Amino acid sequence: MDRIQSGILIFLLTGVSFLVFIQVLLRYVFRAPLMCIAELLLFPTAWLYFIGAVHASFEKSQIYARVLEIVFTKKRTIYIVRAVASAFSILILSWLTYWGYDYLKYALRIQKESSTLYIPMIYAEMIVFIGLAMMLLYTVVELVENLNVAAESGSEEIALADKQI
């Protein structure tokens, strides 16, 4: 999955950069702006945003505020706190994924099109549900991993320098 997500991200970054370069070239060098490029940028930008969030969730490299872990010194307690945080994240992501599914049904029913090129907007809107569902899946995996580490670890102490904060 890592290679697929990285490949998609590289492709999207390259595409967005190319479209912005063309827009700048047309607008400021040739003084002939092409209005449809801004519309085209909507699609890869939406996908880039959500696939980037999914990839961060997959790598566990999203931003954490692990303030409570500073107080605890036992590995088991730290991973229990992380499991509780993962459980709360699952609750929130479940609600957001449900909302994303409703939004996907709405987008399929309405069948909006972009204003200039008449591209179906579902291509940009479906990533909301797909991205949230994938983040939910990766958070469930993270919860299982945290519970496994908490169950396997005893009362061993962790030095502050060894904590992954």
- Residue that wins the pLDDT comparison between 39 and 159: 39
Task: Indicate the residue type of 132.
Answer: L
The rounded distance, in Å, linking the Cα atoms of 128 and 49 is: 10
Of the candidates 11, 53, 45, 13, the residue with the CA atom closest to the CA atom of residue 138: 53
C-alpha closest to that of 85 among 67, 112, 99, 71: 67
CA dist., res. 142 & res. 82, Å (int): 9
Tell me the two tokens of residue 36: 């449809």
Residues with Cβ within 8 Å of 25's Cβ and at least 6 positions away in sequence, in order, are: none
Asked if residue 154 has pLDDT above 60, the reply is yes
pLDDT (tens digit per residue) in 65-115:
888 888 888 899 999 999 999 999 999 999 999 999 999 999 999 999 999
Rounded to an integer, the average pLDDT of 17-29 is: 93
- For residue 98 the two structure tokens come to 């449900």
Q: Are 66 and 130 in contact (CB under 8 A)?
A: no
**Predicted confidence (pLDDT) at residue 165 exceeds the cutoff of 50:** no
Task: Output the pTM of the full model.
Answer: 0.87
CA–CA dist 34, 126 (Å, integer) = 26
The pLDDT of residue 140 is above 70: yes
Dihedrals phi, psi of 148, to nearest 5 degrees: -65, -45
